[in-house]
């Protein structure tokens, strides 16, 4: 099992290219099931989760090829498509449930295993089930599988979600584009990944409006055609690497970054004493002073502060001047990185969905263990600013969401390497 060794060594300088968004790509890939014509994605991230989705789509009968060192994904679902998404693949990744809507739209029936993924909360499927049931699907859980049938095909409908779930919004969108008649989704998720999916579906011939707002309108069409679409920049990878010079000092330009993707995050960085400057190539980040100031953070659905940047922000605040309070409102169990940061000398108190961080002068290197995807990279960020050597174990989590971390951080001066432990 791989580990990553980090030796804190001061400021970072240079450029870091930001990949295409993992969460956008994982929603775009199942859209190939909606058409018999080819769908090609450019600017794709090279991640283990993308390989898992490739495996799942191939098991359903789609043809999927990685081109140009994995940055281009060429897909075609022109043949017979199976309706059964098997547990052995689906259990590896939460986003596997995004084949449910497309399979229902294309075939009128689907059997999809309950998904797996990071251990950061229950993330129930009932919001997805309710959204698809509004379109006429009958869904029941048997033997660990969601068995879905749409007798006579899906029908357009108005549905209001009780929570602005990103995944349920994506499943509803992909199902409704081929439903009979018009649909309206209220309290829809507004994330950039939703906007990116809607734009891709529109290139394929779908009739969608309102993406990026809480109300999305869809007029069903008879068929979709092929398209080529670039995956939007990964706002979570962007925010993560923006924190590197904030924690260590120095100045780093994140290539491909745009402020509108991370506006609430940038506001908190400014409050904490971090300068963010737009450039023709992306975003340039540096500290304003010698030390970060404490700030309070509350995670919220987009456009609020992203839950997927909470762990990384906590790493920054561990050495801030003063006391910060982080409140997690999206997922339970998402402070599992706190005990590992404490091993490095951080002063953190966790109570339910709230963490209080008392800034310390310095962190110290220590052996730590990654508990989930975002926690793993938060430990690497903390290690960059720590005195001595940190060994981060169980980094297979990291590979699900960050491509070539060691390469990108080494290029700006970090002392970081991956080792294989027997």
**98 burial type by CB count under 10 A (0-12 exposed, 13-18 middle, 19+ buried):** buried
User: Backbone phi, then psi, for 286, in 5-degree steps?
Assistant: -155, 160
* Binding-site residue set for phosphoenolpyruvate: 22-23
Cα distances from 420 to residues 311, 374, 398, in angstroms, run 25, 21, 15
Q: 186: which 2 tokens? A: 């209220």
User: Backbone phi, then psi, for 372, in 5-degree steps?
Assistant: -160, 180
Active-site residue identified among 118, 248, 254, 318: 118
Q: Is 254 a catalytic residue?
A: no
Which of 96, 150, 83 lies closest to 123, judged by CA? 96
Which of 389, 392, 421, 418 lies closest to 405, judged by CA? 418
Cα distances from 421 to residues 1, 376, 381, 392, in angstroms, run 5, 17, 22, 12
Please state, as a whole number, how many other Cβ atoms lie within 10 Å of the Cβ of residue 346: 24
* Binding-site residue set for UDP-N-acetyl-alpha-D-glucosamine: 94, 308, 330
Beta-carbon contacts of residue 147 (< 8 Å; ≥ 6 apart): 110, 111, 139, 140, 141
Beta-carbon contacts of residue 385 (< 8 Å; ≥ 6 apart): 8, 247, 248, 319, 362, 363
Catalytic residues: 118
């Amino acid at each position: 099992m791989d580990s990553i060794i980090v030796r804190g060594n001061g400021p970072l300088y240079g450029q870091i290219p930001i990949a295409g968004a993992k969460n956008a790509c994982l929603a775009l890939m199942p859209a190939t099931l909606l058409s018999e014509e080819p769908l090609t994605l450019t600017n794709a991230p090279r991640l283990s989760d993308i390989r898992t989705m490739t495996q799942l789509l191939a098991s359903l009968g789609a043809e999927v090829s990685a081109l140009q060192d994995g940055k281009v994904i060429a897909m075609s679902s022109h043949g017979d498509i199976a309706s059964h998404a098997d547990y052995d693949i689906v259990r590896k990744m939460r986003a596997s449930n995004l084949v449910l809507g497309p399979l229902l739209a294309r075939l009128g029936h689907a059997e999809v295993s309950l998904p797996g993924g990071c251990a950061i909360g229950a993330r129930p499927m009932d919001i997805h089930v309710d959204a698809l049931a509004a379109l006429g699907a009958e869904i029941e859980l048997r033997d660990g599988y969601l068995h879905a049938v749409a007798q006579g095909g899906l029908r357009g409908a108005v549905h209001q979600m009780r929570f602005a779930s990103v995944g349920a919004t994506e499943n509803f969108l992909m199902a409704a584009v081929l439903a009979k008649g018009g649909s309206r989704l209220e309290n829809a998720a507004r994330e950039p990944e939703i906007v990116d999916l809607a734009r891709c579906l529109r290139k394929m011939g779908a009739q969608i409006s309102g993406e990026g707002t809480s109300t999305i309108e869809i007029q069903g069409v008879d068929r979709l055609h092929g398209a080529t679409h670039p995956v939007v920049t990964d706002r979570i990878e962007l925010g993560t690497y923006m924190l590197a010079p904030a924690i260590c000092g120095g100045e780093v330009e994140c290539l491909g970054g745009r402020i509108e993707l991370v506006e609430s995050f940038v506001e908190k960085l400014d409050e904490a004493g971090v300068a963010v400057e737009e450039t023709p190539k992306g975003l340039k980040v540096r500290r304003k002073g010698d030390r970060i100031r404490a700030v309070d953070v509350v995670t919220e659905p987009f456009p609020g502060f992203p839950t997927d940047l909470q762990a990384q922000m906590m790493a920054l605040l561990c050495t801030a001047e003063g006391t910060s309070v982080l409140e997690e409102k999206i997922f339970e169990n998402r402070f599992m990185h706190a005990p590992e940061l404490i091993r490095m000398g951080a002063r953190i108190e966790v109570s339910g969905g709230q963490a209080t961080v008392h800034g310390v002068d310095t962190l110290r290197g220590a052996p730590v263990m990654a508990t989930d995807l975002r926690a793993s990279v938060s430990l690497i960020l903390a290690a960059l600013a720590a005195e001595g050597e940190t060994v981060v174990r169980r980094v297979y989590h990291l590979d699900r969401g960050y491509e070539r971390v060691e390469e990108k951080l080494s290029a700006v001066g970090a002392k970081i390497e991956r080792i294989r432990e027997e």
